[in-house]
Amino acid sequence: MDGVRLQKYLVLAGAAPSRRKAEELIRAGRVIVNGRVAELGAKVYPGDEVRLGRRLLAPPRERLVIALHKPKGYETTRKSRSGAPTVYELLPDVPGLHPVGRLDRDSEGLLLFSNDGALTERLTHPRYGVKKVYRVWSRKGTPPPDLLRQLERGVTLRSGEFAQALKARPKEGGAVITMTEGKKREVRYMMKAIGYPVERLLRVKVGPIRLGGQKPGTWRELSPAELKALDLAAFGPENKR
């Protein structure tokens, strides 16, 4: 591959979870390129030797983004404390591959994975406003319009935290809720706060990427067109990293 910035190389090699952490490693003098302490702004070229301390880093594969249809009952973690199966049992073994956000064990649907920490940060941090869409069902059925508008105005959860949907619209047996953040079990807590506890939760969209008809338990690599659309949603038209 052509020369890449050292920060990006470290992220793609699985040595740092994000560009910011990679920069911290470089500033701390822990990254060695061809036997010399590296500086911010350095580039890595084919054949260069890169070390983190004494550890030799394998050349990273090109950026990878995977879409998994997470089934119910799987935990978004590498090792389960409860003994439940984990999403990594369904995925290929790729160094540095990590979840872009999370879904709790009882939730289903679209879960992205990537080896690009900068992309993950942009897709998950609320300040970047990338939308996530959830289809929810409740035993009590479809909430009335006034309660859905309440979700859009915001509700105070039992924890004391304020949570707000970007959009909430009725759907048979429940609702479709659009969020720009994804705190643990937040959508479930919000529905419970309006008196409509969730029976089933399915994430159907992250930014421009849709779950579509993908079967539970299966994964696929995003197409070049999907990657381009995802970068546009995450980084904007100038794609500054």
Residues 39-95 have pLDDT tens digits of: 998 999 888 999 999 999 877 667 789 999 999 999 999 888 889 999 999 998 887
Please tell me whether residues 74 and 166 are part of one structural domain.
no
Cβ atoms of 180 and 132 closer than 8 Å = yes
The answer to whether residue 217 sits within a structural domain is: yes
Please tell me whether residues 23 and 39 are part of one structural domain.
yes
Please tell me whether residues 212 and 199 are part of one structural domain.
no
The answer to whether residue 90 sits within a structural domain is: yes
Which CATH number goes with the domain that contains 78? 3.30.70.580
191-226 pLDDT per residue, tens = 999 999 999 999 999 999 999 999 999 999 999 999
Please tell me whether residues 28 and 147 are part of one structural domain.
no
Band the pLDDT of 240: cuts 50, 70, 90: low
Task: Calculate the alpha carbon distances from 230 to 102, 126, 138, 148 in Å.
Answer: 18, 16, 31, 29
Per the structure, the complete domain to which residue 212 belongs is given by 65-126+208-235
Please tell me whether residues 77 and 196 are part of one structural domain.
no
158-180 pLDDT per residue, tens = 888 999 999 999 999 999 999 99
Residue-level pLDDT at 237: 80
> What phi, psi does 78 have (nearest 5°)?
-80, -35
Helix (H) or strand (E) holding 74: none
Cβ atoms of 187 and 201 closer than 8 Å = yes
Please tell me whether residues 136 and 202 are part of one structural domain.
yes
What percent of the residues of the chain are helix, what percent strand, and what percent coil, each to the nearest 5?
25, 30, 45
As for how many domains the chain has, the answer is: 3
Residue-level pLDDT at 2: 65
The answer to whether residue 241 sits within a structural domain is: no
Please tell me whether residues 158 and 225 are part of one structural domain.
no
Which CATH number goes with the domain that contains 33? 3.10.290.10
Please tell me whether residues 117 and 86 are part of one structural domain.
yes
Please tell me whether residues 114 and 20 are part of one structural domain.
no
Please tell me whether residues 76 and 101 are part of one structural domain.
yes
b/e per residue 172-197 (b: at least 16 CB within 10 A): eebbbbebebbeebbbbbbbbbbebe
Which CATH number goes with the domain that contains 146? 3.30.2350.10
Please tell me whether residues 170 and 74 are part of one structural domain.
no
Please tell me whether residues 104 and 152 are part of one structural domain.
no
pTM for the model: 0.78
Residues forming a β-bridge with 162: 156
Instruction: Write out the catalytic residue numbers.
Output: 104
5-41 pLDDT per residue, tens = 898 888 777 788 777 889 999 999 999 999 999 999 8
